[in-house]
């Protein structure tokens, strides 16, 4: 099953980071967050990716054209040009890089890459979030549901801790928790090819609006509840948080 990664957005809230690169190429631990996402899928046996490009897509193309030199140690014979790669993990990925337009919305990008994929189900996620989602359980849930689409429902960490008050006094503090907010769309979709008929406005279609709302009204949208780690990279604060987690002894999304 192919995995679509939406990698065309501008990421304006990341300021100077995305002035020179698309959001999925912002680095966590010396690797683009796009690499982290692909490693999550590869850990579950999904090795074929379709990257939906848009804003500064040439940066992502350049990354994969030079993927081995970027990720492996190597020796080069300058006379023949022959390169010998040494240590470093082999990935064995197949990566399709599809230009889906500079200003195309998420629904339009999904429609374009779904036509490239053809008449088979596929996975989709955003190019700016990591999680320890059990992808095998997600896929099995989708198959059992018989629905056209399944999203992964997550509960983001509360932004602030909370106070317990009693008669004008603070009695205890509660730290921020992953279950502090309600359920939201966390990406990590499984889609059937028939979802194309829900993308009615072409490139201007926002996937998270009319298509998902229509699928829900038609009872064709399943929700796989993920109660583990999930975190988007929307702001520089998120970048710093994910960087700190990566430096820890056990980054929560490192399932490989």
Q: Convert the pLDDT of each residue in 165-190 to its tens digit.
A: 766 666 566 555 555 568 999 999 99
Q: What is the pLDDT of residue 9?
A: 85
Domain edges within the chain? 3-247
How many Å is the Cα radius of gyration of the chain? 20
Q: What is the pLDDT of residue 238?
A: 95
Positions of the chain with pLDDT under 50: none
Q: What is the pLDDT of residue 123?
A: 98
In the chain, where do the E strands start and end? 3-7, 27-28, 31-32, 48-53, 74-76, 83-85, 94-99, 122-126, 129-131, 149-154, 162-166, 169-174, 184-185, 189-191, 221-226, 230-232
Distance of CA 56 to the CA centre of its chain: 18
Q: What is the pLDDT of residue 90?
A: 74
Q: Name the one residue in this structure whose structure tokens are 């966390």.
A: 186
pTM: 0.89
Q: What is the pLDDT of residue 136?
A: 98
Q: Which fold has domain 3-247?
A: Spore Coat Polysaccharide Biosynthesis Protein SpsA; Chain A (3.90.550)
Burial status of residue 152 (CB atoms within 10 A of its CB: 0-12, 13-18, 19 or more): buried
């Amino acid at each position: 099953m192919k995995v679509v990664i939406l990698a065309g957005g501008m990421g304006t809230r990341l300021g100077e980071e995305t002035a020179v690169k698309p959001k999925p190429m912002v680095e966590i631990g010396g690797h683009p967050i796009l690499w982290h996402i692909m490693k999550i899928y590869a850990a579950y046996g999904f090795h074929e990716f379709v990257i939906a490009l848009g804003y500064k897509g040439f940066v992502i193309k350049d990354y994969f054209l030079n993927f081995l030199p970027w990720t492996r140690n190597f020796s080069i014979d300058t006379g023949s040009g022959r390169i010998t790669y040494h240590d470093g993990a082999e990935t064995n990925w197949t990566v399709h890089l599809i230009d889906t337009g500079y200003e195309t919305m998420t629904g339009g990008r999904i429609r374009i890459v779904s036509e490239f994929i053809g008449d088979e189900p596929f996975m989709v996620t955003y190019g700016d979030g990591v999680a320890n989602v059990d992808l095998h359980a997600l896929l099995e849930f989708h198959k059992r549901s018989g629905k056209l689409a399944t999203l992964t429902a997550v509960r983001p960490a509360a932004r602030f801790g909370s106070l317990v008050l009693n008669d004008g006094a603070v009695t205890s503090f509660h730290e921020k928790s992953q279950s502090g907010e309600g359920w939201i769309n966390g990406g990590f979709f499984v889609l059937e090819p028939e979802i194309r008929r829900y993308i009615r406005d072409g490139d201007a279609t926002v996937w998270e609006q009319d298509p998902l709302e229509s699928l829900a009204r038609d009872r064709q949208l399943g929700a796989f509840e993920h109660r583990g780690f999930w975190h988007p990279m929307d702001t520089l604060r998120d970048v710093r948080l994910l960087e700190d987690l990566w430096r820890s002894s056990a980054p929560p999304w490192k399932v490989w």
